[in-house]
Amino acid sequence: MLFSVAADSYESAVREIRAEFGRDVRIERVSGDLGRVVGLAVEEFAEACDAGRIIFVRHLTIEVASFRVDDLPPGYELAELILAELRDYPKALAVQAWTDGASTGGSYYHLLQDALADRGVTVTRSDQEVVVSCFVGRRAVLLGLNRLEFSLSDWPGGRMRLARSEDRVSRSEFKLEEAIATFGLELPAGGKALDLGASPGGWTRILRQHGQEVWSVDPGALDPRLRGDRRIHHAATTAGRFFAENRVRFDVVVNDMRMDQVMSARMMLDAGAHLRRGGLAVVTLKGGGKNPLDGARRGMDVLRQEYDVLHARQLHHNRNEITVVARKL
């Protein structure tokens, strides 16, 4: 099985895998952001990731073949190899190609797309039950297959690429968008949301797109494009002062504040007093330091005092952060 990570987080991922499955599990590094683990069931591995026990792995696929870059078979042979691994002849497959360099792997995607189309298989980049993964390294091309439900992400190697728009307020929007898409989060229709550390308003904008009335808490200003929205309430103050005066009960609370992991988690405990039971919480735990895994675990332990942690993962747009999704107990 192949697993992808952020290159800087590979060692943390290995620690997690060994802690979950035993120190004798065989793990090999394939490239900067790709590893191979032998002898584990993909269903069991994916469940550990979904439950937040493994947080630094982004994508999973079951390796079916590898070739030297200069000895890659023609497309029709690759198509035969892929289809031979499947019990039922599929009508459609997702093909996801990526490289360990700056290129996107598009030429390999089109190679597989054309070859599979010749066999009557419709190919898309996502949204199919079975995913073909094609990783292109400096020396080897690796092919993998997995069901989407066990892949963790519907993007090549877990590298979600979100389209930029003129309405975007800040890059941080991508983090919340990715969390909502990856974890299939459903925000309550007409809900009330609290955005802590909101300035300049990126997460507030995404919450509004999902139908929330938003209280944006930050001494800093919001982007001028948000000021005319009557369902955005800017509290130009600190979180502590807001909590002391607030009388609103929220359905959702989000926190992307620049604090260490434990401080951010404690801020979410304070927010929990203003959140409905069963309410949704999304927080980024900032990494850094010598032991980012240990710091993330400490932050999650604090959160569990008030929340049921549903998901925890280092998403593509997180960089050195962990996104945690939880529900108020």
Tell me how far apart the alpha carbons of residues 126 and 123 are, in angstroms, rounded to a whole number: 9
CA torsion sign for 168, 171, 175, 176 is: negative
Place of tokens 């005092």: 305
Instruction: Please pick, among 175, 192, 286, 328, the residue that the annotation labels catalytic.
Output: 286
Concatenated DSSP letters of 216-285: EE-SSPPPGGGTT-TTEEEE-S-HHHHHHH--PPEEEEEE--S--HHHHHHHHHHHHTTEEEEEEEEEEE
Specify the 3-state DSSP secondary structure of 65. strand
Q: How far apart are the first and last CA of the chain?
A: 36
DSSP, res 163: P
| Token couple for 64 | 């079916």
Active site residue 286: yes
Concatenated DSSP letters of 74-136: PHHHHHHHHHHT-SS--SEEEEEEEESSSS--HHHHHHHHHHHHTTT-EEESSSSSEEEEEEE
Tell me how far apart the alpha carbons of residues 113 and 102 are, in angstroms, rounded to a whole number: 21
Q: Facing residues of 66 across strands?
A: 142
Give catalytic residues, as residue numbers: 286
